[in-house]
Structure 1
Amino acid sequence: MLYLNDFQDMKNKILANAIKAFNPLRLRVGGSLEDQTVYKVGLVTKCPHFKNNMNVRRFGFSNGCITMERWDQLNQFFNETGAKVTFVLNALRENKSENKNSTLWVGNWNKLNAQEFMKYTISKGYKIDSYELGNELSASGVFARVNAGQYGKDTIILSNLVKKLYANFSDQPKILGPGGFYDKEWFNKFLRVSGPGIVDGLTHHIYNLGAGNDPKLISRVQDPFYLDKIAQTFKSISESIKQYGPWTGAWVGESGGAYHSGGTNVSNTFADGFWYLDQLGMASTFDHKVYCRQVLIGGNYGLLNTTTFAHNPDYYGALLWHRLMGSRVLHDASPYLHSYAHCSKDSERGDITVLLINMSNSTTFVVNTVNDLNLFPSDHTELPPREEYHLTPEGRTFKAK
């Protein structure tokens, strides 16, 4: 996800180069306020800005709007940086809360505003990799929720709309959902109702470290047994797909570790890499196809500094993972030495890339490889030297940035 304050942000070379380095980087456009967003296109004439309003139950903001001028600017930025775009649509457009004190929203999704938005997007030649319906509406939801059966029906409406509008495209946008926290009963029913060939990516969110202001946060990112607890969620998602949706794939649609903007002097430091890299390895072990980090810019958990766009430590971890680790997973972890081995990305020689994370603050592990011919290649071998990347905090300070 990406927060940009004004058009000048999109002219920043540090920001642009940070995105280009991934070639491509997926940007998820949406989030907490997505289900309060209207698109100023077609019959929509009023386009208010989001305003702080503590009388509003959903996140303390009034409803807001995105103009097509702003959408044009964003797509110019996406095109220049080669970003791959996932766009989250308002799932609560004209739906109604069950009653004044209820968080349950009822009624079929009104597709009209989204339809006009898609038509405009197509007319301008803007490429969307995937559309997702709503944000954090599954199970008990976050300030709002939709029943699994209703959400399944709404996702079918979205799928049919995309198939109709993109009928002449050989590469149609994928359909994602539900973009919320995993609940076995809710997710299973959603897959049953939506049925085969509708959902391309089953997206779920993870904030397994607790609140950003929790003083225990710094100890949690170093505790291998605490970090391993979330493995059950990854496993359960995989089981839901195997039983009810073998046509789809699991995605982590959003994860920042600690919610409420992450932890000060934790989420944006070297320490967070113990959680983040372990998450990437764990997600791959349980056959997840995509992992979206919250957030590129914004809060304490941004990969880039909010004001200077300087790279925080997790940016480098993400970049190395993206460049080195292939999609084939060979091995996973042990208690204090977490190890993840993949076939190397874009390798034709059968190379292997291994990620080793020492979760102990008192033990040094010695790792040897058997018959490693390319550690010190001689003049008689065509093998390149082995590459090693050592991630250490500046000044050996655990909270270094």
Structure 2
Amino acid sequence: MKREMDTCDKRMETIVITASFYDDIHKFVSSVGWDLIFGLNLLLRKPDGAWDPSNAEELMKYTVQSGYKMGGWELGNEPNNYGRKFGCKVGARQLVKDFHTLNSLLGEYPQFDDTEVLGPSVTQLSTDDYFQRFVNAGGGEVVTALTYHQYYEDGSVAKLEDFYNPYILNILYRQIQKGMNLTRAAGTKAKLWLGETSSAWRSGAPGLSDRYVAAFMWLDKLGMSARDGFNAVVRQSFYGGNYSLLDNETCAPNPDYWLTVLFKLLVGNKVLRVISPDSLGKIRAYAHCAETRKSGYPEGSVTVYVMNIDQSPVTIELPDFARNSPLHVYNMLPADDDLLSKFVLLNGKKLQMEDDKTIPNLLRPVKTTRTVLIPALSYSFIVVPDARLHCCM
């Protein structure tokens, strides 16, 4: 049996997060209603190779003393790449032991009883078997959610047509199934998260990952991961890199920002089954109980979102509902009919901030019945307000 090495050669650059910067993080997170998950430094090691939790303990004490709330803790980031990046190796079995140490530390603070514990946060599952070794060593018992990262391709070589190529989009499907199979085989009941994800690695594809065309990868990922049992998807990134939701120079919203906001307004957590199409071809559809608190739609409403990555328009019917059921349609197209546009049209209206703090009202659907036309290379949200679906009540 190959022995896992747990060594570091101390060639890493030291980066210090000050107390004032940590305060600013919490101030921002609290002001926008987010939950903070903090990534702890796994590369702080003892002479015997075990994780040194002293720095984490200092941080936790400060967090409690400051009255800050935490959404969760992550230990390490992409540990399967440590050897290549840092000349440091932390084996999967050792990482499980390190999580035991983390859990013991968290147990000293009742304030953290309900926080998430995330790991191993490896790179793509196709890279190596680190995730499998972590799970087989009991990793599913030391975390609340098993995490891995997912990107479709290398941002330095990505092409426009890749962003709506069914074969490339289906890379996610294969990786989801692999993750599900590995956890089932190990008998763990831990949740699965995409702990970091976007369109392309190397900070995204320049001129592509921040344009309208990137929405196909993002929306398909949200739908497919929810349908196949993933509890959370962590987007990379809000700011910074070519895949950011906000423009790096102006902070103006990129197209994926508007998609994300509309998704949050219309799509609830409960996933419904879509029989046709199969969502692996050029017409992809997903359905959820509608989000009612943010949208104002009545309980029992249903939201269906459809991607048409074909070159021709398609007509969508919802045969499970009455023929005269009102349908509220939110269609999103690129400005100037350009897939590389940094602006998106919602039912023909260009989406822009009204001022530095105010987003426009997105809940202005086109109302119709029976069928919905989805233009070529576009996506739509369709809400059925009077569906009165019992499981959504």
Residue 63 (structure 1) aligns with: 14
Which of 263, 285, 301 matches 2:227? Answer: 285
Q: Normalized per residue, which structure has more strand?
A: 2
- 1:354 aligned onto 2:299: no
Structure 1 pair 364–260 and aligned structure 2 pair: CA distance change class (3 A): same
Matched-pair identity in %: 30
**Unaligned regions of 5+ residues in structure 1, if any?**
1-35, 37-55, 97-105, 377-384
Residue 26 (structure 1) aligns with: none
1:225-269 deviations in Å (ceiling 9; x for gaps)? 221123111011112222325331111111122111111210000
Which of 134, 137, 146 matches 1:193? Answer: 137
Distance 1:161 1:295 in 2: 29
Structure 1 pair 260–231 and aligned structure 2 pair: CA distance change class (3 A): same
**Unaligned regions of 5+ residues in structure 2, if any?**
1-7, 343-393
Distance 1:373 1:249 in 2: 37
Distance 1:259 1:284 in 2: 22
- 1:342 aligned onto 2:292: no
Which of 193, 202, 211 matches 2:146? Answer: 202
Which of 122, 126, 135 matches 2:64? Answer: 122
Residue 367 (structure 1) aligns with: 316
Between 72-81 and 272-281, report the one with greater CA deviation.
72-81
TM-score using structure 2 length: 0.76
| Secondary structure at 1:138 match in 2 | helix
Distance 2:253 2:323 in 1: 32
* 1:208–1:257 contact (8 Å) kept in structure 2: yes
* 1:268–1:300 contact (8 Å) kept in structure 2: yes
Residue 389 (structure 1) aligns with: 330
How do 1:155-174 and structure 2 match up within 5 A? 155-164=99-108, 166-167=109-110, 169=111, 171-174=113-116
Letter aligned with residue 70 of structure 2: I
1:82-114 deviations in Å (ceiling 9; x for gaps)? 221110000011357xxxxxxxxx810000011
Structure 1 pair 71–338 and aligned structure 2 pair: CA distance change class (3 A): same
* 2:122–2:130 contact (8 Å) kept in structure 1: no
Deviation at 1:189, TM superposition (A): 2.7
Deviation at 1:343, TM superposition (A): 2.1
* 1:304–1:310 contact (8 Å) kept in structure 2: yes
* 1:342–1:352 contact (8 Å) kept in structure 2: yes
Deviation at 1:292, TM superposition (A): 0.9
Letter aligned with residue 355 of structure 1: Y
How do 1:234-313 and structure 2 match up within 5 A? 234-244=176-186, 246-313=188-255
1:87-143 deviations in Å (ceiling 9; x for gaps)? 0000011357xxxxxxxxx81000001111111101111111100001111377661
Residue 99 (structure 1) aligns with: none
Calculate the aligned-residue CA RMSD, in Å. Answer: 2.4
How do 1:126-145 and structure 2 match up within 5 A? 126-138=68-80, 143-144=85-86, 145=89
Residue 101 (structure 1) aligns with: none
Distance 2:182 2:290 in 1: 29
